[in-house]
Amino acid sequence: MLHRFALIILLLATAACSAAPEPTATSAPEPTDAAPQITQAPIATDALLNIVGVTLPPPGTIALPPVTDDPNPNSLFSSVELIRTGGPGNTTLTIMLSGEGELTRNDEAQTINQQIVDQLDLLLDQTRFYDIQGVFTSNSAEPDIYRYSLTVSGPAGSRTITADDSLTPPELRALFEAVLALGTENSATSVEATAEATSETTA
């Protein structure tokens, strides 16, 4: 009986081994003559470069685009703000002027003549403040150097130009000095003289 049981187990094991399927050999894909597809980047055009950015002049110099018609030739600025920081005493001076002649120098309020406001507006037009392009600041920390930040708001929008003392071109320097003189004894003569000098330069 035991011998017959062992024989049955041996027959079943032999049948199971013979019934298992043999593994199918796989082959690597045959190489093809087709070259790999390479996507070429689009070639930059002059129009695309103009959209991406413009070439700026050397630091401390101004570049101006061609003159275009002013959509608001008789409009007056709504506000002018100049913030000067740094200098020998590391001080801050804030000057704010409205188109109505309301002036604030470090929280000290006063009213200036409308003629001075008009002269300053003329000076902004002559220097083409909204069109100025250039680099006027430096990352290097220079001691006792003033930094100016001038913001002009009006019908054409709002724009801020920041410049370090060492990289301020003459056109911007004249504008900064005219605003700095607002509310002082030399306010009228400084703005008027600067406007006249700028007019002769741009003529």
Calpha distance 158→188 (Å, rounded) = 25
Closest CA to 174 of 148, 154, 155, 142: 148
Are the C-beta atoms of 162 and 149 separated by less than 8 Å? yes
Please indicate, yes or no, if residue 153 is contained in any of the structural domains.
yes
Please indicate, yes or no, if residue 28 is contained in any of the structural domains.
no
Q: Considering only 23-32, 90-99, 182-191, which range has the smallest mean pLDDT?
A: 23-32
Calpha distance 43→27 (Å, rounded) = 43
Tokens of 136: 């006027």
Please indicate, yes or no, if residue 184 is contained in any of the structural domains.
yes
Please indicate, yes or no, if residue 188 is contained in any of the structural domains.
yes
Please indicate, yes or no, if residue 18 is contained in any of the structural domains.
no
Strands, DSSP E only, in the chain? Answer: 79-86, 91-98, 102-105, 108-111, 146-154, 157-164
Please indicate, yes or no, if residue 58 is contained in any of the structural domains.
no
Number of structural domains the chain divides into: 1
Task: Kindly report the CATH number assigned to the domain that includes residue 108.
Answer: 3.30.1560
Q: Given pLDDT bands bounded at 50, 70 and 90, which one contains residue 102?
A: very high
- Residue 94 is predicted with a pLDDT of 98
Q: DSSP letter at 91? A: E
Tell me which residue range forms the domain holding 115.
Answer: 75-198
Please indicate, yes or no, if residue 14 is contained in any of the structural domains.
no
Q: Given pLDDT bands bounded at 50, 70 and 90, which one contains residue 185?
A: confident
61-93: pLDDT as tens digits: 888 878 766 555 667 899 999 999 999 999 999
Please indicate, yes or no, if residue 30 is contained in any of the structural domains.
no
